[in-house]
Amino acid sequence: MAINPDNYYMRLQKFILFSFIFLLVAGLIFSQSDSKTQTVYAPYPTNIRVGIQGNTVVITWIDSPDYSGAYNVYKSTKLPDASNYKYAELIGKVEKGVQQFSYTLSDLNSYYFFILPVNTQNQAVEIFIPLQNYTLVPVKIETVSENPKPVQYQNSAVLSDFNILSGSKTVEIKFSISNYSGKLYLYRSQKPFINEVSLIEAVQIYVFDVNTVGSRTISYSDIPFPCIQYYWAIVTEQELSTLRVSFFDRKNTSLQAASIVLVGSVIASEAVPRYAPL
């Protein structure tokens, strides 16, 4: 019996087309299953930061989006890992969403700080990622006040008219203060001042001693690094001691950054000697 070439090639084309569709569908199914198995699960917090204000250590971090439980906060005299963390001191437990913890040190020892997620059985999950949920550099306080004297504050202190004026070589900071007796702390940062956590990444550049009943205008000339945008803020002694600070534009900070200009031509002309022709 003779085979019709047209029917043969038609059947062959159908077979090839069916095989191609089958392989394509199978590939899509396997690729989807692979993508599901490759989903990253990271229950640990990240971006741990530690700052010191007097005797108080302020620890901040970013919660994991993959974890909804609480976190344990520890301090240790040794670099933490899975073999020694049980000898560390548990100093607090923080619920999700807080992302910060303050602790007052009472000695001059150097400490590492780390954060571990806590499971539903109230057990710490042993995950240690450097610079994410534990510090690599220990911190310590300089002095310990055994019998601190209470400080008297003027609760009616009013800060206003906070203004920044950038010049060619300096930035002028001006503000008004009334009904206040105590210290005022001037901070500079490359980020806007939002809350007390902003002070961790800021630099304290000057301290004012103020004793005024009426209104008084205070100014300070700062010389920041050229060509970098900075923000400034003023904090009272009471706010700093309690670590409860609220920042308001044109009252105790400015949401507008300022900088000074690097005059390259002037620096170049002063640095390069001029030679007389022979």
The H-or-E segment that residue 103 falls in is strand 100-104
pLDDT above 60 (res 95):
yes
The pLDDT tens digits of the residues spanning 186-208 come to 999 999 998 888 888 888 999 99
**pLDDT value at residue 44:** 87
Tell me, yes or no, whether 227 lies in a domain.
Answer: yes
For residue 216, the domain's CATH number is 2.60.40
Are 179 and 137 in a shared domain?
no
Tell me, yes or no, whether 123 lies in a domain.
Answer: yes
**pLDDT value at residue 12:** 62
Tell me, yes or no, whether 35 lies in a domain.
Answer: no
pLDDT above 50 (res 16):
yes
On whether the CB atoms of residues 237 and 184 are closer than 8 A, the answer is yes
Tell me, yes or no, whether 78 lies in a domain.
Answer: yes
Tell me, yes or no, whether 121 lies in a domain.
Answer: yes
The candidate with the shortest Cα–Cα distance to 137, out of 220, 79, 179, is: 79
pLDDT above 80 (res 72):
yes
Are 187 and 216 in a shared domain?
yes
Structural domain count, the chain: 2
- How many Å apart are CA 205 and CA 119, to the nearest integer? 43
Are 54 and 134 in a shared domain?
yes
The H-or-E segment that residue 71 falls in is strand 71-76
Burial class (CB in 10 A: 0-12, 13-18, 19+), 72: buried
**Contacts for 119-128: CB closer than 8 Å, 24+ residues apart:** 119/69, 120/69, 124/72, 124/85, 125/43, 125/44, 126/82, 126/85, 127/43, 127/44, 128/80, 128/81, 128/82, 128/85
Are 135 and 164 in a shared domain?
no
Give the residue, 130 or 19, on which the prediction is more confident: 130
Please compute the mean of the pLDDT values over residues 72-76 and round it to a whole number. Answer: 95
- How many Å apart are CA 43 and CA 32, to the nearest integer? 24
Are 143 and 162 in a shared domain?
no
**pLDDT value at residue 14:** 66
Instruction: Give the least confident one: 163-167, 177-181, 246-250.
Output: 177-181
For residue 107, the domain's CATH number is 2.60.40.10
Tell me, yes or no, whether 129 lies in a domain.
Answer: yes
The pLDDT tens digits of the residues spanning 206-256 come to 999 888 767 789 999 999 999 899 999 999 888 887 778 889 999 999 999
Flag whether the pTM goes above 0.75.
no
Domain membership of residue 213 as a residue range: 158-242
Domain end point (choices 147, 171, 201): 147
**pLDDT value at residue 90:** 94
pLDDT > 90 fraction of the chain, expressed in percent and rounded: 38
The pLDDT tens digits of the residues spanning 117-159 come to 999 888 999 999 998 999 998 988 877 665 544 444 444 578 8
Band of pLDDT at residue 265, cut at 50, 70 and 90: very low
Domain end point (choices 147, 168, 193): 147
Are 56 and 132 in a shared domain?
yes
**pLDDT value at residue 77:** 94
Are 116 and 210 in a shared domain?
no
Are 173 and 204 in a shared domain?
yes
**pLDDT value at residue 3:** 53
Are 134 and 195 in a shared domain?
no
Are 46 and 141 in a shared domain?
yes
**pLDDT value at residue 195:** 85
The candidate with the shortest Cα–Cα distance to 138, out of 182, 213, 75, 84, is: 75
